[in-house]
Homo-oligomer: A and B are copies of this chain.
Amino acid sequence: MDNAVYSSVETPAVLVDLDIAERNISRFQAYCDEHGLKLRPHIKTHKLPRLARFQIGKGAVGITCQKLSEADAMTEGAGIDDVLITYNLIGEAKRERLRALAGRVRLSVVADSAAVVDDLSAAMDGSGHQLTVLVECDTGARRCGVPTPEAAAELSGRIASSPNLRFGGLMTYPPVGGTSAVQDFMTRAKTLIETFGTPVETITSGGSPDMWRAHEAPVVTEYRPGTYVYNDRSLVERGICGFDDCALNVLATVVSVPDPHRAVIDAGSKVLTSDLLGLTGHGYVVGRPDIAVDSLSEEHGRLVSQEPIGLKVGDRVRIVPNHACVVANMLDAVVLTRGAEVLGYEPVAARGKVW
């Protein structure tokens, strides 16, 4: 790349091009609008209140978070008032924060067992708020979630009859390629629950890899993509977008060129992370498809090419990482840009929020 571009930015750095991010947001919002789907983006990718506000401004119904501490970081003073936490929240330590958040925003959470439902009910006791709880369903990812529509119906009944809780619907995070499994599971679960006279207000699914197929599961009322805001190499490899649609890049400097086919950059796993997502190599060097990022240590990334690598010490490269979400979690701040223009550093408000 031209070393004069971003020359004011110290490396390694995580660059976020707002033009591209905003285009990605608008494009999928238009798709959701066309198909009558509510969009509730997962903030785990950007972790930035300003982009969450942009998403809501374009039409998103609220945000998705994975943890209470993420929700706190995203909503405190940010003007965001509708949050779904797609995580089983349990334990004494989380109760006070759960009640405080429920008093501040329109909050929904999930549960996939009686133990979690009972814990949530106890947590809300005396809070004066009723908490909306969705049943998490396993539509094939084999992570969390009740295993069958029958189990979903049973747990919905427990939620509906628990003090301080109201049943809000069904939630799933399907495996890639799981759209039709979602349709089948959710249709059956909805029918069962409605048989008991309980309305199923929301059926929410997610995942950027299948986001353009969301309409193929018409039972779903709401979609929760995360990565779509930035995109990454894993989504390019799946054919979901092009490298020009990748809003998050890592800017790095060549610190060593030990032989004509190898260069070492100052970005290692502390920036790019070791996430492979099934790919080979640790990222795409923009403009250099001949180069492989073939190994990382914490502060070094090794670039190799069968061609003469043609880089010298001090040159800069931009890398599209395999997985944008985890890269956004590594540094305290990202550098916002619009094309070649550098806007400045933006603290990653929800970085490292695992509670």
Contacts and interface: CB of A to CB of B under 8 A. Distances in A.
Interface string A109-149: 00011011001000000000000000000100011111100
A60 interface: no
Contact of A258 (B119, B145, B297, B302): B145
Interface string A269-301: 111011110000000000000000001011110
Contact of A115 (B94, B142, B275, B313): B313
A90 interface: yes
A264 interface: yes
Interface centre among A112, A145, A270, A329 (most CB of B within 10 A): A270
11 contacts: A90-B253, A90-B313, A115-B312, A116-B255, A143-B256, A143-B258, A143-B264, A270-B329, A270-B354, A298-B326, A331-B354
A90 B269 CA distance: 20
A257 interface: yes
A65 B273 CA distance: 20
A94 B253 CA distance: 12
A170 to B, nearest CB: 16
B354 A302 contact: no
Contact of A330 (B115, B255, B352): B352
Interface of A: 10-12, 44, 66-67, 87-88, 90-91, 93-94, 112-113, 115-116, 119, 138, 142-147, 253, 255-259, 262, 264, 266-267, 269-271, 273-276, 295, 297-300, 302, 312-314, 325-326, 329-332, 352, 354-355
Q: How many copies does the complex hold?
A: 2
Contact of A146 (B143, B258, B300): B258
Contact of A93 (B10, B66, B256, B275): B10
Contacts of A44: 298-299
Contacts of A255: 87-88, 90, 116, 144
Given A67-B299, A298-B326, A329-B270, A253 B147 contact: no
Contacts of A326: 269-270, 274, 298
Contact of A256 (B113, B295, B329): B113
A93 B271 CA distance: 19
Contacts of A325: 298
Contacts of A299: 44, 66-67, 87, 354
A50 to B, nearest CB: 21
A81 to B, nearest CB: 23
B66 A298 contact: yes
A278 to B, nearest CB: 12
Contacts of A271: 354
Contact of A275 (B88, B269, B314, B331): B269
Contacts of A259: 147
Return the 4 tightest CB-CB contacts between A and B, nearest first.
A115-B313, A10-B93, A88-B255, A144-B256
